Chains A and B, each alone.
Chain A
């Protein structure tokens, strides 16, 4: 049976990681990069649950996932605050425009 739960979760996880990496690599908008980062973290969380299920240690996986939720929230808050500050200071969210490490 190809549509069992585990296969679906694997596909969703890999898909989420792919979308996240693609978004982070090609987008020049800082906001979209933050969204990509969030997607990547969600994929990691799914992968935790999946590995817990496969190893029969679902309780450990769930506690790790809870930890990820908490840290992820903090990351999201700080990242969004930074995005707001960047927008106020530079007037744009284009990462090429705000880079100062150029010759």
Chain B
């Protein structure tokens, strides 16, 4: 067993072992549970960091499990190791944050066990090279996400949000399973690399079904148009969970899937355009919804959908590197934003931004890190969000139609507008209440500071990051450039300056909001529509009603009498025999 295999085993195994131990420790010993969870998640983070220099495109682990599922293989390639590092490092920071946030909660065992189980599954999902295993880990992340959204299971809103997330992401899971089975039927292998290598061998129609099936899977998982409604409702989860699962890791799985299979599907007619369209619609619609929401966590959730839209758009435009780099930046600054929002909510006791205001004086540290994250989200230089967003816009310039690029640049302006609105409503302005808000606890600060530093400097690794992807992804055709080249290219590109101008306009629109009343008042109608989520909640409601009505109608078919069930079995048997003997 080589060194890379050991690391992969530790990255997946340590969190799962930790989950068992936290469970075993029992809710009577909360200190032990906190300690165990922090220890195991940090250890997994270290193992994932050690794995990064070992990145290669060769199979590190191969477990033969017989004919039906192929070999269970794990490959530590560039995409895999860096996403595993994000999952475990952000995961360990979220766990450290939880020590303060979840203090005094009953049922800590359930909470930590689910988080650790999730971290291991997420690392497995990105490191494996077997489509069947991808499906398996994909479902584990969906189930743990469901369990954690509904963590406060005496709150009906939390339970409903969890169910919604589970049902919608399951839809995507089915698409993924179908894709895996189709690929097995035609290629005789579940290996991802075999699918990438032999994509041209497949008949065009089959490849098309695969490509669009995976797009649906990715859109459902990443909460993209038209499935974007589950993520905001998932905000009933404890905030560290929102930061980890619904901002930094699980929702990225869809983008990861698209990026992973991009070389196989890029030739499918209409696929790239469809991907770009999905990304663009998600980005612009969610940005407008973020502008009109009052719930702090929902604003961040909408902005997550919007930023994921940018990544999906970038994959469609052929900028796999740009999309993965934005994924990297976004994971850091959005985890930072969510965790500091968690500190604010913990202190203020409400999620409604209208009841906050003026919290900055009472929580200076949280304000400082939140502003850093917000500037990165708005895409201002020189934070990491600026570089990656400009890379995406540049990919859009070369790989997509101009009108889509225009919409994306407009969205960048809206992003700046809602970001400053959010910062102002929470930390500045008149205090809406005289309640005393205490600053974040020690463990919260331990979790926030590294993320803030990461937001400031993580763009410096763009050179090595690109080289790692170039060397370990033989099918993607990524060309790495050094940090200097990329910086120079971005500074010289006109699209950068246009985007910065639009962002500045967004900022100015917030500063001059009183003078702009003439413009904004006619737009109140749009705001109303966006608060009802552009009618998507209505569609969801209709689908649910239809399903329930159908189930009610089909009850007549269920007599509950054994003889009828037996008759159905016998008739099916005869039908099968008839089909077999006719040789259809």
A residues sitting closer than 8 Å to B (CB atoms) are 21, 24-28, 30, 33, 95-96, 99-103
Contacts and interface: CB of A to CB of B under 8 A. Distances in A.
A79 B495 CA distance: 74
A33 B570 CA distance: 14
B561 A96 contact: yes
Contacts of B558: 101
Nearest to B570: A21
9 contacts: A21-B570, A24-B563, A25-B563, A95-B562, A96-B561, A100-B560, A101-B558, A101-B559, A101-B560
A26 B560 contact: no
Contacts of B566: 21, 24-25, 33
A101 B555 CA distance: 9
Contacts of B570: 21, 25
A24 B566 CA distance: 7
A25 B568 CA distance: 10
Contacts of B559: 99, 101-102
A26 B564 CA distance: 10
Interface of B is mostly: helix
Interface string B347-366: 00000000000000000000
B567 interface: yes
Contacts of A33: 562, 566
A48 to B, nearest CB: 17
A99 B561 contact: yes
Interface in B384-425: none
Contacts of B561: 95-96, 99
Contact of A102 (B560, B562, B563, B567): B560
Nearest to A96: B561
Interface residues of B, number: 10
Contact of B567 (A25, A27, A100, A103): A25
Contacts of A96: 561
The 9 closest A-B pairs by CB, nearest first: A101-B560, A99-B560, A95-B562, A24-B566, A25-B563, A102-B560, A21-B570, A101-B558, A99-B561
A103 B562 contact: no
Given A24-B566, A26-B563, A102-B560, 8 more contacts: A25-B566, A30-B562, A33-B562, A99-B560, A99-B561, A100-B560, A102-B559, A103-B555
A60 B560 CA distance: 39
Contact of B563 (A28, A100, A101, A103): A28
Contacts of A26: 563
A28 B566 CA distance: 12
A62 to B, nearest CB: 25
A24 B567 CA distance: 9
Contacts of A101: 558-560
Contacts of A95: 561-563
Interface string B546-560: 000000000100111
Contacts of A99: 559-562
A101 B298 CA distance: 42
Contacts of A103: 555
A96 B559 CA distance: 9
A26 to B, nearest CB: 7
Nearest to B564: A25
A99 B562 CA distance: 8
Contacts of B567: 25
A78 B36 CA distance: 44
A86 to B, nearest CB: 11
Interface in B537-584: 555, 558-563, 566-567, 570
A67 B78 CA distance: 50
A30 B558 CA distance: 19
A28 B567 CA distance: 13
Contacts of A28: 563
A20 to B, nearest CB: 10
Contacts of A102: 559-560
B575 to A, nearest CB: 15
Contacts of A24: 563, 566
A60 B26 CA distance: 52
A26 B563 CA distance: 7
B176 to A, nearest CB: 34
A28 B558 CA distance: 17
Nearest to B555: A103
Contacts of A27: 563
Contacts of A30: 562
A95 B559 CA distance: 11
